[in-house]
C-alpha cells in the first residue's frame, strides 16, 4: 500500500474522485458519490428502492428507510428532483448507502439488484375526487415501473402504494404475468394506513394507547372496500352500535378526511410514509427469516371468490407466505363484505382490462 494511502489527504482525494460538482450527479445512472466510497465496508442488509422518492410520501419514506438498520443500500428513483432528495437523505449518519436515479433511462440502474421495491409513484387526489379518478394517470405509471421491475429485479418483493390500489395491484400482476416473472407472494398492495387509522380511532374511543390496539382491516383500499373487523379487535373489546357506525365510517373515509383538510395540496403523505415504512420493515423482517410476522395487505388471494383481497398475511422469506382466513364475522361485517366485494370486483376487472386493451 502506498504510505499515504490512509492519510487524511488521500481519503479526501478518494471521496473527491467521486464528486464532480460541475456535472449533475444523476447523469448516466451513476451512483451518487460517497456511496462508492463506502460500498466495500457497507453493513450487511437488504437493498431497497423507493420509486417516486421525490414525492410527498417518497421523501418521508426515504428518510424512514434510511433509518432502518435492515437496509444496507437505498436507491431513490423519481422522474424529477431526485438529486436534492438524495443529497439530503445521504447526509443522515445511518448505515444505509444512498444512491439517486432520475428519469426513465435510469430506472434499470435504480432497480437492478433490489430485494424490495416500494412504489409511491403517481398522482394524489384532490377534494371531490375518488381514488378511481386517478386511474387514467396512475395505471400507465404503475405499468411502466412494473415493466422495469420485471426486467431488472424480477425476484424483488414489491410494496405497491400508488392509487387506486384496488386496480393497480391487478395491473402489476398482469405486467409480471406477461413478463413471465409473476409470483403472487411477491406482490403486496399496501393497506397499512387503514390499519394505522383503525388502531388510532379505536384507541381514541377506548381511551387507550394506539400501540396496544390491533384492528384487522380487510377487503381493499377505497371507501366501502375498506372493511374494519371491529369484532376481532385485539385486545378483545366491545362497542355500541353507534360506536361501530362512527368507527367504520371514519376508517373508511380517513383518506378523504386528509384530502379535504389539505384542501387541494394532496393526500396523506406523512401518515402514509409512516405506514409504508412500518410495512416495509415487516417485509424485511420476514425476508430475514423472523417468525410470526403478520400484517394486513392486498394480495392475490383465495379468501373470497375474488382474485385479490386484503386480509392478514404471514410475511416470510418469499413475501406473503400464507394468507390467513378472515375469521368469524358478525352480521354487520358480513353485509359490509358483500358491498366491498361488489366494488372490488369492478376495480379488479378495470385493472385487468387496462392491460388487455
Ligand atoms: N396505499 C395508500 O394507502 C396510499 C396512501 C396515500 C397515498 N397513496 C397514493 O400514493 C401516490 C403518491 O402520493 P403522493 O402524495 O406522494 O404524491 P406526489 O405527487 O407528492 O408524489 C408522487 C411522485 O411520483 C413521481 N412520479 C410520477 N411518475 C413517476 C414515474 N413514472 N416513475 C417514478 N416516479 C414517478 C412524481 O414525480 C412525484 O414525485 C398517489 O397515487 C396516492 O394516491 C396511497
Ligand atoms: O385518500 C387518498 O387518496 C390517499 C390514500 O389512499 C389514503 O387513504 O390516505
ipTM: 0.99
Q: For residue 57, give the ligand 1 atom closest to its CA.
A: 16
User: What is the percent of the chain with per-residue pLDDT over 70, rounded to a whole number?
Assistant: 88
User: Who lines ligand 2 at CB under 6 A?
Assistant: 124-125, 131, 163, 193, 221, 255, 258-259, 267-268
Q: Are strands 308-316 and 293-300 parallel, antiparallel or unpaired?
A: antiparallel
Question: Which stretches of the chain drop beneath a pLDDT of 50?
Answer: 1-3, 5, 14, 16-41
Q: Is the CB of 165 under 6 A from ligand 1?
A: yes
Q: Tell me, what's the pLDDT at 13?
A: 53
Contact 201, 251 (CB under 8 A): yes
Contacts of 46 (CB under 8 A, 6+ apart): 70, 71, 72, 73, 115, 116, 284, 287, 288
Domains of the chain as residue ranges with CATH: 42-190 (3.40.50.720), 191-356 (3.90.110.10)
Please tell me the distance between residue 342's alpha carbon and the centre of ligand 2 in angstroms.
20
- Residue whose C-alpha is closest to residue 326's, from 296, 355, 300: 296
Q: Tell me, what's the pLDDT at 44?
A: 81
Please tell me the distance between residue 40's alpha carbon and the centre of ligand 2 in angstroms.
40
Q: Tell me, what's the pLDDT at 357?
A: 86
76, 122, 131, best to mutate for ligand 1 pocket (most atoms within 8 Å of CB)? 122
Cα distance between residue 10 and residue 139, in whole Å: 50
pTM as predicted: 0.93
Cell numbers linked to 104:
426513465
Amino acid at each position: 500500500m502506498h504510505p499515504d494511502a490512509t492519510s487524511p489527504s488521500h481519503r479526501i482525494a478518494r471521496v473527491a474522485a467521486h464528486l464532480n460538482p460541475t456535472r449533475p450527479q444523476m447523469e448516466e445512472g451513476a451512483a451518487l458519490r460517497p456511496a462508492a466510497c463506502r460500498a466495500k465496508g457497507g453493513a450487511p442488509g437488504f437493498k431497497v428502492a423507493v420509486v417516486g422518492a421525490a414525492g410527498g410520501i417518497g421523501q418521508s419514506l426515504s428518510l424512514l428507510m434510511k433509518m432502518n438498520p435492515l437496509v444496507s443500500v437505498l436507491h431513490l428513483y423519481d422522474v424529477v428532483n431526485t438529486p436534492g432528495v438524495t443529497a439530503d437523505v445521504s447526509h443522515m449518519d445511518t448505515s444505509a448507502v444512498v444512491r439517486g436515479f432520475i428519469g426513465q433511462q435510469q430506472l434499470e440502474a435504480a432497480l437492478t439488484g433490489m430485494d424490495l421495491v416500494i412504489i409511491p409513484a403517481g398522482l394524489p387526489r384532490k377534494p371531490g375526487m375518488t381514488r378511481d379518478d386517478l386511474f387514467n394517470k396512475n395505471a400507465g405509471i404503475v405499468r411502466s415501473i412494473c415493466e422495469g421491475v420485471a426486467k431488472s429485479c424480477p425476484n424483488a418483493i414489491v410494496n405497491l402504494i400508488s392509487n387506486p390500489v384496488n386496480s393497480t395491484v391487478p395491473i402489476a400482476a398482469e405486467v409480471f404475468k406477461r413478463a413471465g416473472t409473476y409470483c403472487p407472494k411477491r406482490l403486496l398492495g399496501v393497506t397499512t394506513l387503514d390499519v394505522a387509522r383503525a388502531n388510532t380511532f379505536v384507541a381514541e374511543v377506548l381511551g387507550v394507547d394506539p400501540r396496544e390496539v390491533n384492528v384487522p382491516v380487510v377487503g381493499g383500499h377505497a371507501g366501502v372496500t375498506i372493511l374494519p373487523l371491529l369484532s376481532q379487535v385485539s385486545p378483545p373489546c366491545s362497542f355500541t352500535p353507534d360506536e361501530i357506525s362512527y368507527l367504520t365510517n371514519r376508517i373508511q373515509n380517513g383518506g378523504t378526511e386528509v384530502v379535504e383538510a389539505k384542501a387541494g395540496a394532496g393526500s396523506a403523505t406523512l401518515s402514509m410514509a409512516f405506514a409504508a415504512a412500518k410495512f416495509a420493515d415487516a417485509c424485511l423482517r420476514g425476508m430475514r427469516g423472523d417468525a410470526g410476522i403478520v400484517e394486513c395487505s392486498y394480495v392475490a388471494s383465495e379468501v373470497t371468490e375474488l382474485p385479490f383481497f386484503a386480509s392478514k398475511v404471514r410475511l416470510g422469506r418469499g413475501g406473503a407466505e400464507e394468507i390467513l382466513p378472515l375469521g368469524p364475522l358478525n352480521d354487520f361485517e358480513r353485509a359490509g363484505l358483500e358491498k366491498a366485494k361488489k366494488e372490488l370486483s369492478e376495480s379488479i376487472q378495470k385493472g385487468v382490462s387496462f392491460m388487455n386493451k
